[in-house]
Amino acid sequence: MRPYSKLYAGGTRLLVLVLPLWLTLAGTAAGQTADSLSSLRRRLDRYQQTAPTEKLFLHLDRPLYLSGETMWFKVYAVDGTHARPLPLSTVAYVEVLDKEQRPVLQGKIPLRQATGQGSFVLPTALPSGAYTVRAYTSWMKNFAPDYYFHSTVTVVNTFTASGTATSKDSAAYAVEFFPEGGHLVQGLSSQVAFKVTDRAGVGMAAEGRVLDQQGNVAGTFQTLRFGMGSFRFTPKAGNTYTAVVALGRKPVLRHKLPAAQPQGYVLHLDDQATQVLLTVTSTSLQPETVFLLAHARQHAATALQAQLINGHAVFSLSKSQLAEGISHFTLFNAARQPLCERLYFQRPQAALSIVAALDKKQYVSRDRVSVQLATTSIAGTPAPEPLAASLSMAVYRLDSLTTAPTPDILSYLWLQADLKGHVENPAYYLTPDPAAAAAADNLMLTQGWSRFRWEQVFAPTPFEYLPELNGPLLRARLTQPGTGRPLPGITTYLTSPSRIIRLNPATSTANGLLYFELGDVSGSHDLVVQTDPKQDTTGRVELLSAFSTRFAPTAGTYTAPAIRFRSDITRRHFQAQVQKLYSGKFTNHYRVPAADSTAFYGKPDEVYLLDKYTRFKVLEEVMREYVPGVVVRIHKDGFHFLVLDKVNKTVLSENPMVLLDGVPIFNLNKMMAMDPLKIQKLEVVDSRYFHGPSIYDGIVSYTTYKGDLEGFPLDPRVLVQQYEGLQHQREFYAPRYDTPAQQQSRLPDLRNLLYWNPNLATTGAGAAKLDFYTGDQAGRYLVLVQGLAANGLAGSTSVILEVKPTL
């Protein structure tokens, strides 16, 4: 973790924040002094295998929305090391956060073969502002929230004045300094990177001087791109240093540099044509063995050993040894303690080339647009090969409000996802511009960090969150009322009343945690949770939210569109209201997946459709007259059932599992008091049934006509709570004008989003074709296509579509 300090200046307000200098190892890691260098490498590789990383990328349909519009997105899931599609998790959690990091919208998005799609209808009352869209999986919650996908979108509420009002200048500026390798050391020359940004995280042009306590100039600096730069600096013992930063006509900022340590190490990287040189200098002149581990995305590339002679050592690495993307160079001492760390970026040479060819140069209103999509590999070869890929495409109108770029999948997966904090214009660092390499190095110096802790590598601990391999995994906690003490080893049952019989048993862990695998449960349901009364009658069950409660720092504040954009905002408002009036009925069509109607116990041994029999008014008579496989007994405490085990020709000794619309009923007296005329079907399993941690002496399952318990009184200690399952897939609506009658329709078509398709795919055999229609609005539209191939190659492309007014 790189140390840094911040200065915010807005008017006369100053705030100084100092963060820790370095992440030190726990005593467990210090005890590994006997490990060899190869053992250190193996430990990191072993950790990577036991703690695989996931990355999510969301292709959002556009960068700006009006309150009331629909946000569409596609989810790409990849492995964190090679960026290949990773079909590990089956659920992605997507949220829209306001400026206070409070979720205003949340959804569970089903993933199939490492992709998924979803949408949010933005509430009409949603205030204007900058909102963060973030996404993660259950497994990703084991790691820092900075690792989640984040993207900023703008929402404009055209119903309120905030949509167009100008705000007062509340500018505040942050100045941060990052000594290369970790920290400044007295008497040792260091490369010091710096970054100057405004409140929104946008880089500011600046220049400055470093002064000692007597006011003598010890160094000068100037920003290059995006408010970043670096300079050489040697701190002297006994001196303190202050940076004076000039931002043009803005207030001058004064900021103390990080304090220099009296002793330590400095790591410097020199990027040469074919190799990378890393120089280590130390205040100690005694011979010492140091180790350098080069690793990328938790995968070790190489490990080297050197001897510090007179406080100096040099490591040389060929660039061919290093992975593409971001590599970490971590320096260890003989006790395997990390001393310094440096990041290095190597631009990926291979990418997915996407060609989107339009059939015309210009179009008129309600004109058909045909697009040919072709994908090939780019690997520096003159003859690219066709490559199959999963794609998504959005077509939206360009105006003064939609100038912000949308995240692109290539720069996100290979750069932005491996850096902490906001990265301004990440796509620039992947361009062949010669200045991009220097800018990327400044970025590595200012935003480098490690996604894992070395003590976790040396002494792994169990992860709290499990990957969701088969749909949502609902976590709950079982505690003793009053004390909150966890209750371990208690069997608990979860179900949702329905005509489709599903029952999920789980046994509480030592911490009282319960894990229920829900499968493909979509939409809203009432969940019923209760413990086995033979084991517990007082336990309190609490269902835990699947959404993360940890948040990464975000950069970005909302600046209301200027008054000069009032006409575009007014036009947008009018268009949105017209579309809602004439096409609103098409916006809430869903593609509901087919549900498996088979009960969890499969095909029962006995099935009774009670309408085929004489209907009795007492359930006891029904059981005695029509169900020979179940013996009804009356003891002092009331009714008991005994199932006849036809396989072993015996009578099972305990009550079977009795279900009503899938809900366990342990009080048979209540069950026998129910009106049998409300029951449509009765099923019996005539043998002992093994179900997860539970064993049932047969199953007796009642199903009502509506599957809603028909008013059956549940035990007061039973928890009934509403649960929102996987999001239903909303169908994107776009009118077609295939016939003259459709083209001459008087219904207005003022769509800003002409087309959205998250399910496009190309094959290695040839191009994919698709078509859609323009609306009634002339103007320029952006056709944006993003995609990922099975081998991990990612790419995007954009084309401008011109629509002229109909003459």
> What single string gives the DSSP state of each residue in 250-297?
SPPEEEEPPPPBSS-EEEEEEE-SSEEEEEEEES--S-EEEEEEEEET
- CATH 2.170.130.10, the chain: domain bounds: 606-724
380-384, 462-466, 535-539: segment of lowest average pLDDT = 380-384
Provide the pLDDT for residue 20. 33
Mean pLDDT score, 361-388: 85
Of 628, 611, 597, 605, the closest CA to residue 684 belongs to 605
User: Is the confidence at residue 803, as pLDDT, over 60?
Assistant: yes
Provide the pLDDT for residue 15. 28
Q: In whole angstroms, give the CA distance from residue 458 to residue 772.
A: 56
User: Is the confidence at residue 3, as pLDDT, over 60?
Assistant: no
Mean pLDDT score, 196-200: 86
The CATH code of domain 52-167 reads: 2.60.40.1930
Provide the pLDDT for residue 686. 94
Provide the pLDDT for residue 297. 86
Q: In whole angstroms, give the CA distance from residue 584 to residue 578.
A: 9
Q: In whole angstroms, give the CA distance from residue 194 to residue 4.
A: 9
Q: In whole angstroms, give the CA distance from residue 150 to residue 142.
A: 17
C-beta of residue 131 within 8 angstroms of C-beta of residue 140: no
Mean pLDDT score, 34-57: 79
Q: In whole angstroms, give the CA distance from residue 90 to residue 75.
A: 11
H helix intervals, 18-165: 27-30, 37-50
C-beta of residue 429 within 8 angstroms of C-beta of residue 347: yes
Provide the pLDDT for residue 8. 32
pLDDT tens digits, 145-160: 998 999 999 999 988 7
Q: In whole angstroms, give the CA distance from residue 423 to residue 555.
A: 10
pLDDT tens digits, 499-508: 999 999 999 9
Mean pLDDT score, 265-284: 95
pLDDT tens digits, 403-416: 788 899 999 999 99
The confidence band for 164, taking pLDDT boundaries of 50, 70 and 90, is very low
pLDDT tens digits, 574-615: 888 888 887 777 777 777 777 788 999 999 999 999 999 999
C-beta of residue 131 within 8 angstroms of C-beta of residue 104: yes
Mean pLDDT score, 289-315: 91
The one-letter amino acid at 269: L
Higher pLDDT, 261 or 554: 261
Q: What percent of the chain has pLDDT over 70?
A: 91
Provide the pLDDT for residue 564. 55
Of 595, 604, 631, 632, the closest CA to residue 702 belongs to 604
User: Is the confidence at residue 562, as pLDDT, over 70?
Assistant: no
Residues whose CB falls within 8 Å of the CB of residue 549, separated by 6 or more in sequence, listed in order? none
The single residue listed with the structure tokens 């999001």 is: 727
Give me the numbers of helices (H) and strands (E) for the chain, helices first please: 9, 51
User: Is the confidence at residue 399, as pLDDT, over 70?
Assistant: yes
Q: In whole angstroms, give the CA distance from residue 674 to residue 616.
A: 12
Provide the pLDDT for residue 382. 57
User: Is the confidence at residue 567, as pLDDT, over 70?
Assistant: yes
Q: Which residues pair with 786 in a beta bridge?
A: 392, 796
User: Is the confidence at residue 381, as pLDDT, over 60?
Assistant: no
User: Is the confidence at residue 168, as pLDDT, over 60?
Assistant: no
60-69, 154-163, 312-321: segment of lowest average pLDDT = 154-163
44-48, 542-546, 553-557, 605-609: segment of lowest average pLDDT = 553-557
User: Is the confidence at residue 445, as pLDDT, over 70?
Assistant: yes
The confidence band for 561, taking pLDDT boundaries of 50, 70 and 90, is low
Supply the DSSP symbol for 47. Answer: H
Mean pLDDT score, 1-13: 35
The SS3 assignment for 323 reads coil
Q: How many residues are recorded in the chain?
A: 807
- Residue 349, Ramachandran bin (φ over 0: left; ψ between -120 and 50: alpha; else beta): alpha
- CATH 2.60.40.1930, the chain: domain bounds: 5-31+172-346, 52-167
Residues whose CB falls within 8 Å of the CB of residue 445, separated by 6 or more in sequence, listed in order? 178, 180, 191, 193, 228, 230, 343
pLDDT tens digits, 200-247: 788 999 999 999 999 999 999 999 999 999 999 999 999 999 999 999
Mean pLDDT score, 336-353: 91
User: Is the confidence at residue 29, as pLDDT, over 50?
Assistant: no
Residues whose CB falls within 8 Å of the CB of residue 9, separated by 6 or more in sequence, listed in order? 172, 173, 251, 253
The one-letter amino acid at 413: L
The confidence band for 452, taking pLDDT boundaries of 50, 70 and 90, is low
Q: In whole angstroms, give the CA distance from residue 172 to residue 197.
A: 8
Structure-token pair, residue 426: 């990440």
CATH superfamily assigned to domain 5-31+172-346: Macroglobulin (MG2) domain (2.60.40.1930)
C-beta of residue 529 within 8 angstroms of C-beta of residue 541: yes
User: Is the confidence at residue 704, as pLDDT, over 90?
Assistant: yes
Of 598, 590, 543, the closest CA to residue 726 belongs to 590
User: Is the confidence at residue 19, as pLDDT, over 50?
Assistant: no
Sheet containing 54-60: order of strands: 54-60, 70-79, 115-121
Structure-token pair, residue 692: 């997860």
268-272, 554-558, 570-574, 773-777: segment of lowest average pLDDT = 554-558
The confidence band for 291, taking pLDDT boundaries of 50, 70 and 90, is very high
The SS3 assignment for 752 reads coil
Q: Topology of 606-724 in CATH?
A: Ferric Hydroxamate Uptake Protein; Chain A, domain 1 (2.170.130)
Q: What percent of the chain has pLDDT over 90?
A: 70
Q: In whole angstroms, give the CA distance from residue 575 to residue 750.
A: 5
The angle formed by the CA atoms of residues 496, 499 and 504, to the nearest 5 degrees, is: 35
Mean pLDDT score, 484-508: 95
> Pairing mode, if any, of strands 129-136 and 91-97?
antiparallel
Average pLDDT, the chain: 88
Provide the pLDDT for residue 559. 53
Q: In whole angstroms, give the CA distance from residue 163 to residue 562.
A: 9
Of 90, 117, 66, 32, the closest CA to residue 730 belongs to 117
H helix intervals, 618-725: 619-626, 668-672
